[in-house]
Amino acid sequence: MRRWWLLFVPIVIIVALLFATAEFYTDWLWFKDVGYESLFWKVITSRLAVMAVMAGVAFVLIWVNLLIARRVLVRRVRIEESDGNVRFFPSSERYLDFLDELLSSRSLGALMLAASLVIAVVWSSNFSGHWLDWQMYLNRTSFDLADPIFGQDVSYYLFQLPFLSESYKAVIGLLVILLAAAILLYGLGGMLSHRVRGGSAAIGHVSGLLALVLGVRAWGYKLQADHLLYSTRGVVVGAGYTDVHASLPIYRILLILSLILAVGALINVRLRRGRLTIILPAVLMLVAVLAGSVYPGLIERFSVEPNQLERETPYIRHNIEFTRIAFGLDKIREHQLPAPTSLTPEILAENQTTIENIRLLDWRLLNQTYAQLQGIRPYYRFADIDIDRYEIDGKLQQVMLGVRELTLSEMQPDVRTWVNEHLVYTHGYGAVVSPVTRVTAQGQPIFMVRDIPPRTDFEVLQIEQPRIYFGELTNTYAIVNTSVEEFDYPQGSEDNATTVYEGGQGVKLSFFNKLMFSLRYGTAKLFLADSIQPDSRILYNRNIMDRVQTIAPFLQYESDPYAVIADGRIFWIIDGLTTSSYFPYSEPLGPGGINYMRNSVKITIDAYHGTVNFYLVDEEDPIALTYNKIFPGLFKPLNEMPASLRKHLRYPEDLLVLQANVLTTYHVQNPSLFYNQEDRWAIALEKFGDDVRPMPPYYTIMKLPGAEAGSEEFVLVLPITPAGTGDNVKHNMIAWLAARSDGGDYGDLRLYHFPKDTVVQGPRQIDARIDQDTDIAANLTLWSRADGSRVVRGNLLVVPVGDTIIYVEPVYILAAGNDLPELKRVIVATKDSIAMRPTLHEAINAVLGRDAGAPTPGGEGPIGGEMSLQALSEQLSQTLEAAKRAQQGGDWAEYGRQQDLLEQLIQQLQTLLEQTP
């Protein structure tokens, strides 16, 4: 029996250790596999270093105080009465007997040492979470910008103050606990009196601890003074009049008083007057309450509030300046626009590329269309539809792109076996690409990239490696190179293509690794599966957001990754944002109190190999430069990013929305106007379905006002309107904000103001004009009632064209019981007129007063009215493919419909060829 226990206990210990270390070990293997092992160990060593420093401080304080307490308690505790008699306190007699027995123990010294060490380690383990604050403190980068109150570089507040504040809380907390423990220890023995033998020593010990507490509290008052730059007492965030003229002097007085009282406590270590241990902290608390709370309140009420604008003006100016700097608004270039003119054919001719790239496809509805027409199988899904641009036939063209990912999450349980989920169905396949403006005669998107395997007529969109092992929906681990055939793509009703993963990622599953991964994922199947061979590899953390957040959790990420086709492969691009909530005088308007943000990092991920690269795009951001010092080699220079990917960088939508929200208040730089809130703005509202919501920014290709002909570029646009509430809401457009994305202009922000004496209609006013137009309203009502169909109005886009504005809104029809949206009409409005027609060019011709008449069966061509050969070619090819699918599926009604459409397209092609000289 005894031998059995000797064998059982080590086994239990080994199993427990394996369970405890499985996640750590497999995390290390993952970091090593993706090439960021040095970052993994940097985090571990940083945690251990900061923990060791704080544990050392705590150990010294605890152990020294235990040694002092032992010396004090060794003496017998008796009270010497004035008459010379000696007796024990009845209430403390048993306690003193216990202390006598404890102090006489030979193992007490070792016990004290062990207890000090254990308590110090436990206490410091919580502080290890501040490893990044510690590293930023050590590797700080100057902002070359001084705060207006103390004249310290802003880097002090972002990189030093957070760590100093957390350190102060930890140290003062430990000292207060030690002081309370000493008072409790001596108080129970009645030793806090100089008349007790050993009482003077106890008072000296308490006085020493009190001196440390008061000295550290003086440091705390200095930090509290620094935190005044985040004060919310005044009309804006940051130190206001009361903070500077009342709270700051008081903190300085309290700092000096704390140091004086700390010296007094040190003196009392020799004097050993028990009353002083009460009087000294009482004095500080009384002054802190009366002066720290009452006096600033009186100043605020009787001096500031009656003269608030006059008193607060300098501090409002500080808040405006630093908030604009923190969110990059100081770099916005502002331009005044003339009053919009009427739309003319000349304006259209000069802005042809802009017109050809007006987006009619709404990404929210396009996802449904892709799922219906290009989903192929129920296990394929499009997580999102992305908007990007490609140079096609020498022209910049805006497109919609969806990646076909694979997920079994919505399949039947009998399909979702462990083998299927992790060994067979391991990856998605290919992508779908459509032009944003042209559609088929049925109102469906044209597919520039389509089907499985991917097919395209455009070289720049060729996909040689279409497999998606890493994406937005790859939330499970995959095991590749097993004896089980790995599904590649469907070929027919009875046959599927298979593949073998040849990428560079994956951890080999040796016997020990299989065991550790089984423990990590809580399944014995991984360990017991015979199909897993020594060369098999496991791919995990495959979700691209999980992937980047695991590598660099200190960055904030744009919520919408987007896919790019480049060099025959599919890549993901994610925007990395550096943030802080410690920028002085800045209004915290971001999530979690963020008051500083920069788009400093771009991350690319190969959808097949899983390779992750971080690129530094803002070399002037001190936070990014500090991270680069902490983690050398993490950020690569932007010029090392392949040129094929650099062409597809785009300004992040989340950042522009945040900047626009800040701009709605902080476009005003005059403190008096800012105080009175006389000119507040708002992001324009739009109507989608039955909801009215802030308009999301939208990408478009356009020529910015004042730019030369042929200088069209990819920009992110957001219309701005006046702010208001209730019946006072005004929806006219007063400005629009644009963020540039191409080449060396990346990140350039432009704000275009309309004249204040001119009313420019905003999106909601255009919506109202659409609702009030009798012809449009009658048609929309008729369609919504017919056969239970539903009318959905897509994104209303505000498109600056030359010196005027046009408004474009697509109208979709969803038939009853059908999730396939059909682009039925296009509404175009100008300041003078409004029209709804089957195509964009017909609607534009209508608002110009030259209605083209019958609708064109195909998509969009040049505004003059004729279809382009490229558009006709694409539609002929797509209609022919649809006819073949209908024939193969035995759907003869659909086949006949496609044949009729082919005849129409052929007739249109003949007409176009006859008109071509």
Q: Which two tokens stand for residue 256?
A: 């000096």
| Residue 524 C-beta-side C-alpha neighbours within 13 Å | 0
Cβ distance 318 to 148 under 8 Å? yes
| pLDDT score for 84 | 42
| pLDDT score for 95 | 55
How would you classify the pairing of strands 380-392 and 790-793? Answer: unpaired
User: Is residue 6 over pLDDT 70?
Assistant: no
Cβ distance 284 to 254 under 8 Å? yes
Instruction: Name the percent of the chain lying above pLDDT 90.
Output: 61
User: Is residue 859 over pLDDT 60?
Assistant: no
C-alpha dihedral sign at 881, 883, 885, 888: negative
Nearest to 75 by CA among 205, 197, 191, 237: 197
Nearest to 883 by CA among 893, 873, 874: 893
Q: How far does the chain reach from its first CA to its final CA, in angstroms?
A: 104
Of the listed ranges 113-117, 291-295, 412-416, 624-628, the least confidently predicted one is 291-295
Nearest to 779 by CA among 854, 838, 725: 838
| Average pLDDT rounded to a whole number, residues 830-843 | 91
Q: What is the 3-state secondary structure (H, E, C) of 666-684?
A: HCCCCHHHHHHCCCCEEEC
| pLDDT score for 400 | 96
618-653 per-position pLDDT tens digit: 999 999 999 999 999 999 999 999 999 999 999 999
User: Is residue 854 over pLDDT 90?
Assistant: no
| pLDDT score for 83 | 38
How would you classify the pairing of strands 86-87 and 691-694? Answer: unpaired
Instruction: Name the percent of the chain lying above pLDDT 70.
Output: 87
| Average pLDDT rounded to a whole number, residues 144-149 | 96
Residue 613, beta-bridge partner list = 604
pLDDT band at 67 (very low <50, low <70, confident <90, very high): confident
| Average pLDDT rounded to a whole number, residues 486-505 | 88
| pLDDT score for 189 | 64
| pLDDT score for 292 | 75
| pLDDT score for 217 | 94
pLDDT band at 857 (very low <50, low <70, confident <90, very high): very low
Phi-psi region of 732 (alpha: psi -120 to 50; beta: other; left: phi over 0): beta
| pLDDT score for 501 | 95
| pLDDT score for 90 | 42
164-179 per-position pLDDT tens digit: 999 999 999 999 999 9
Nearest to 205 by CA among 415, 61, 377: 61
DSSP 160: I
Nearest to 381 by CA among 355, 408, 358, 357: 408
Residue 575, beta-bridge partner list = 602
Residue recorded with tokens 């590293």: 135
171-212 per-position pLDDT tens digit: 999 999 999 998 888 877 666 665 655 567 888 888 899 899
Rounded to a whole number of angstroms, the CA Rg of the chain reads 36
pLDDT band at 4 (very low <50, low <70, confident <90, very high): low
Cβ distance 716 to 739 under 8 Å? yes
User: Is residue 542 over pLDDT 50?
Assistant: yes
User: Is residue 316 over pLDDT 80?
Assistant: yes
If one counts every other C-beta atom within 10 angstroms of the C-beta of residue 573, the result is 23
Rounded to 5°, angle at Cα 246 from 244 and 252: 85
* Cα–Cα distance, 825 to 843 (Å, whole number): 9
pLDDT band at 288 (very low <50, low <70, confident <90, very high): confident
Q: Which two tokens stand for residue 639?
A: 């010029």
User: Is residue 85 over pLDDT 70?
Assistant: no
pLDDT band at 656 (very low <50, low <70, confident <90, very high): very high
Residue recorded with tokens 């008061």: 214
860-882 per-position pLDDT tens digit: 433 333 445 656 666 677 677 77
DSSP 446: P
User: Is residue 804 over pLDDT 60?
Assistant: yes
Of the listed ranges 408-412, 585-589, 657-661, the least confidently predicted one is 408-412
Contacts 24+ apart (CB under 8 A), 392-396: 392/458, 392/460, 392/461, 393/870, 395/353, 396/353, 396/357, 396/701, 396/712, 396/713, 396/714
Of the listed ranges 390-394, 546-550, 701-705, 856-860, the least confidently predicted one is 856-860
- What CA–CA distances, in Å, run from 848 to 55, 334, 767, 851, 905? 78, 31, 20, 8, 27
pLDDT band at 724 (very low <50, low <70, confident <90, very high): confident
Residue type, 273: R
| Average pLDDT rounded to a whole number, residues 588-596 | 85
Mean pLDDT, the chain, rounded, equals: 87
| pLDDT score for 89 | 42
* Cα–Cα distance, 726 to 51 (Å, whole number): 55
Better-predicted residue by pLDDT, 912 or 59: 59
Strand ranges in 527-641 using DSSP code E only, listed in sequence order: 537-539, 556-557, 562-566, 569-580, 596-606, 612-616, 635-637
